């Protein structure tokens, strides 16, 4: 089925540190639960089939703006070395208090009007943009070229295939890779409203995933939660680092250590 032809705004690039870091990687919410299990936690069984071999997914090293689908595994030693260099550029600091955090501080979900991020102002909300980006066999509501009513998702977090229908919407949630509450505790409480809206709606920070796996994550950093699918943990660490670098957002020292370990450190 033909997809809509929404306009794409350029992603906002912040600071020389971002440019230097992105040069290393080829260039210069659920529902609100998307923003939790231990690093070796497993997801409850889903109604999905066997583990997916998804040629649709793209390595984050070849997808620095997040407009391409999924998280393909990082397998080569060269790519792992590139990943470690990127992760090492991420600043560290202690996690601050959650005082004052509210999802509304990041704009309403899922807005189409966040300034300066890909896919904004294209006539379709962020959630449906992401379902279209990562889904296959996408079908739309009658009369709409935006509202997805069914699709097949090769879920990177669990490595399973989900036959999703809108009647059971929460079976797929949109994960904020860097959770909004986490970002608040790491400094976004002092950002402008515009920058927080960008983080909440930037496709670089958003991954459609199995709802139960996503809900288990909460606002955890990588030291407390990693995807159950071990094959994509380095890719997940890269994506977490890409978001942190783009928004000049620090992570905790244990989080960075775990991220490096996923990529062979």
Structural domains of the chain, count: 1
Segments forming the whole domain that contains residue 85: 23-28+30-96+105-262
Instruction: Answer whether residue 90 is part of any domain.
Output: yes
Residue 48 has pLDDT above 60, yes or no: no
Report the pLDDT value the prediction gives residue 36, as an integer from 0 to 100. 37
Q: How confident is the model at residue 23 (pLDDT cuts 50, 70, 90)?
A: very low
Q: Is residue 1 part of a domain?
A: no
Q: 9-18, 87-96, 118-127: which has the minimum mean pLDDT?
A: 9-18
Higher pLDDT, 213 or 28: 213
Convert the pLDDT of each residue in 194-226 to its tens digit: 999 999 999 999 999 999 999 999 999 999 999
Whether 12 maps to a domain, the answer reads no
> Is the pLDDT confidence value at 232 over 60?
yes
What number is the average pLDDT over the span 226-250? 98
Mean pLDDT computed over every residue of the chain: 85
**Structural domain includes residue 5:** no
The whole-number pLDDT of residue 33 equals: 39
Residue range 128-174, pLDDT digits in tens: 999 999 999 999 999 999 999 999 999 999 999 999 999 999 999 99
pLDDT of 14 higher than 70 = no
Stretch 76-105: mean pLDDT, rounded?
Answer: 97
In a domain, 16, yes or no: no
Residue 55: what pLDDT?
75
pLDDT of 6 > 70? The answer is: no
Residue 9 belongs to a domain: no
SS3 track for the chain: CCCCCCCCCCCCCCHHHHHHHHHCCCCCCCCHHHCCCCCCCCCCCCCCCCCCCCCCCCCHHHCCCCCCCCCCCCCCHHHHHHHHHHHHCCCECCCCCCCCCCHHHHCCCCCCCCCCCCCCCCCCCHHHHHHHHHCEEEEECCCCCCCEEEEEEEECCCCEEEEEEHHHHHHEEEEECCCHHHHHHHCHHHCCHHHHHHHHHCHHHEEEEEHHHHHCCCCCCCCCCCCCCHHHHHHHHHHHHHHHHHCCCCECHHHHHHHHHHCCC
Q: What is the pLDDT of residue 21?
A: 46
At residue 187, the pLDDT reads: 97
137 in any annotated domain: yes
Within-domain flag for 35:
yes
Weakest mean pLDDT among 11-20, 98-107, 215-224: 11-20
53 falls in which pLDDT band (50, 70, 90)? low
pLDDT at 110: 94
Residue 26: pLDDT over 70: no
């Amino acid at each position: 089925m033909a997809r809509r032809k929404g306009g794409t705004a350029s992603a906002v690039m912040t600071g020389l540190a971002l440019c230097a870091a992105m040069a290393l990687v080829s260039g210069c919410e659920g529902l609100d639960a998307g923003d939790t299990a231990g690093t070796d936690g497993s997801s409850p069984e889903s109604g999905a089939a066997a583990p997916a071999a998804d040629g649709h997914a793209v390595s984050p090293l070849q997808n620095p703006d997040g407009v391409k689908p999924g998280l393909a595994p990082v397998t080569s030693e060269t790519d792992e070395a590139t990943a470690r260099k990127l992760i090492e550029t991420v600043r560290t600091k202690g996690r601050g208090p959650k005082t004052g955090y509210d999802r509304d501080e990041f704009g309403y979900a899922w807005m189409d009007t966040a300034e300066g991020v890909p896919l904004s102002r294209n006539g379709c909300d962020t959630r449906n943009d992401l379902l279209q980006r990562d889904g296959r066999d996408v079908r739309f509501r009658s009369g709409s070229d935006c509202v997805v009513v069914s699709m097949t998702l090769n879920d990177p977090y669990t490595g399973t295939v989900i036959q999703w229908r809108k009647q059971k919407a929460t079976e797929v949630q949109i994960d904020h890779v860097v959770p909004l509450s986490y970002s608040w505790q790491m400094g976004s409480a002092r950002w402008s409203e515009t920058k927080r809206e960008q983080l909440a709606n930037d496709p670089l920070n958003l991954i459609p995933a199995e709802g139960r796996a996503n809900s288990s994550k909460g606002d955890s950093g990588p030291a407390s939660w990693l995807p159950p699918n071990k094959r994509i943990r380095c890719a997940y660490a890269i994506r977490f680092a890409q978001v942190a670098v783009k928004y000049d957002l620090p992570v905790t020292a244990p989080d960075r250590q775990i991220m490096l370990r996923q990529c062979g450190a």
